Chains A and B, each alone.
Chain A
Amino acid sequence: MNATGAASPVIRTENLGRRFGDLWAIRGVDLELRGGEVFGLLGPNGAGKTTTVRVLSALIAPSEGRAWVDGFDVREQPDEVRRRIGILTETPGLYERLTARQNLEFFARLHGLDATTRAERIERFLRLFDLWDRRDDPAGTFSKGMKQKLAITRALLHEPSVVFLDEPTAALDPEAAFVVREAIASLRGAGRTIVLCTHNLDEAERLCDRIGFVRGALLRVDSPERLRNGSSGPTVRIELGAPATEDQLAALRATPGVVEILADGGSPDVLSVGLADLRRDAPAAVRTLVGAGADLLGLREEARSLEAVYFEVMGSRPQLEGPVG
């Protein structure tokens, strides 16, 4: 339920865009996120992730289109939106001369929490993130990981319905990262919607219900599983005795059931082939290649990595110019 009293998406955007001068940072974003969903925003630096989060947090206004958070329009009702969101910015952004408790107290007051609630939540979250014993130490004396945990605590203190987390586990040791991931899972369990900006594909795969690839626009949105499987369905990795010739590739493409051939095998004599149906179409693909004169060394079903999908969606895979060292 939200401001309108209807069960509708917690975040909804329609043709959302934002430009700076003549340059569009993000454009044409149509998105719906439901309560309790963890949504990952993946993209290279400068792809528009932070801009998208800032627009959805009512920090900057959209240049075109509309967006609603918990039923409130980010342009028309920014105060209401900000009441309902928590944000972990790219850098912790703490007041380093103030103690952990004073940092949290300040933000709790800005969110209008009364004294009893403030005290209860500050203790609860500081204990959760193992910072209670350092509550009266200045934040400037904290390690990177502790600062990050304190900043996450700050984002959760007023129990927002939507939480934006920008690289939440960056700079954290494995133990602290585990605590943060557990906290994210727990927030999902509590019905909170989480938007997670990350470069960590493994983390996105483990935490997110859906992932959106961003590069100036929302290029593709789907669950990690469906993204890995691809739009073409199952993929097989075919190892050949020599690189496939143009004639062999043309014959393979013309084979019924072969949806796409990805030059993604990691070496010139390995093909990654998308099929409509594994059991029906894999034997036909093999027969075609052998019939066209290819030497087949092996075949196995391939679960594509999210990294492979990422580079496929982004349209390029960076190449190392030469050997290192």
Chain B
Amino acid sequence: MRLAMLATIVRREALEIVRNRLLVASIVLPPVILVALPLVLGMFPGDTGKDPPPEYVAQILASRPDWASLTREHLIAAFLLQQFLAIFLMMPAYVPLSIATFSIVGEKQSRSLEAVLATPIRTAELLAGKSIAAVVPGVVTSWVAYGALIGLAGLLLGPELSGVLADGSWLAAVFLLGPAIGLVSCVAGIIVSSRVNDARVAQQIGGVVILPIVGIVMIQALGGYLLGPREYLIATVVVGAVGVAGIWLAARLFGRETILTRWR
């Protein structure tokens, strides 16, 4: 793997991304909402005149005994904030998917890959460069948004709630599970894009990678069960393994001959 080749591919992909306004908007706008929304909900958690049902509180504290010292109001706010952790994982999921599908479907439509493949680049370098260009913006966006959320939460919500946002479950999810999801999402984008010729269709099909995240949201919101750092670490290992298997499949689809003779 030659770094100069990788850098060349990543540089070109980046140039294309910044010139695609739709793509840039889909990368930049959601993080703003995902940072603002939990802050607003943390500041105004709803009608605090009523105490939540005791069995509900007990269920939350069973999942997160470290929250026992929080006031009832903060406990509700902490529970609401925790819901956003799973939603936060959407960022490293949909951004790489969007970039990978736009990139590969775009190359298929413009038939630009043949000229690239006729240069001394190796297909592994091309695949790696495209993957880096797709995964990094999603992961970095989620990290920057997370940093902004922590900083603003410290200012607006106080140390107890900002502490909730910086606990082990958030750190494991944002810094470990997030990149693993980004990898799977990118690989899904590559695999689906090799079969379809419309970026939007590819995104809709590739969007199935978001379903497990939606599942986490549902489990947490409906059951009152909150995933902890351990669960997120296990999820990282499982998702990472799926990602590695996906790379193997994507690499098979990314052979010179396959691209030139079977991609339509």
Contacts and interface: CB of A to CB of B under 8 A. Distances in A.
Interface of A: 20, 54, 57, 59-61, 79, 82-83, 85-87, 89-91, 93-98, 102, 106-107, 109-112, 138, 151, 154-155
Q: Which 6 A-B pairs have the closest CB atoms?
A: A97-B19, A110-B119, A93-B112, A109-B8, A93-B111, A87-B118
A135 to B, nearest CB: 15
Contact of A89 (B11, B111, B119, B121): B111
A55 B169 CA distance: 54
B16 A60 contact: no
B127 to A, nearest CB: 15
B120 A112 contact: yes
A207 B219 CA distance: 71
Contacts, number: 78
Contact of A87 (B15, B115, B122): B115
Contacts of A57: 118
A95 B119 CA distance: 16
Interface in B1-46: 4-5, 8, 11-12, 15-16, 19-20
Nearest to A89: B114
Given A90-B111, A93-B112, A97-B15, 10 more contacts: A60-B256, A60-B261, A79-B120, A87-B118, A95-B110, A97-B16, A98-B19, A110-B119, A111-B120, A112-B120
B79 to A, nearest CB: 45
B190 to A, nearest CB: 18
B110 A94 contact: yes
Nearest to B259: A59
A155 B261 CA distance: 21
19 contacts: A54-B260, A59-B256, A59-B257, A60-B260, A79-B120, A79-B122, A90-B111, A91-B111, A93-B113, A93-B114, A94-B110, A94-B112, A96-B110, A97-B20, A98-B19, A106-B8, A107-B119, A109-B8, A112-B4
B260 A110 contact: no
B116 interface: yes
A90 B121 CA distance: 20
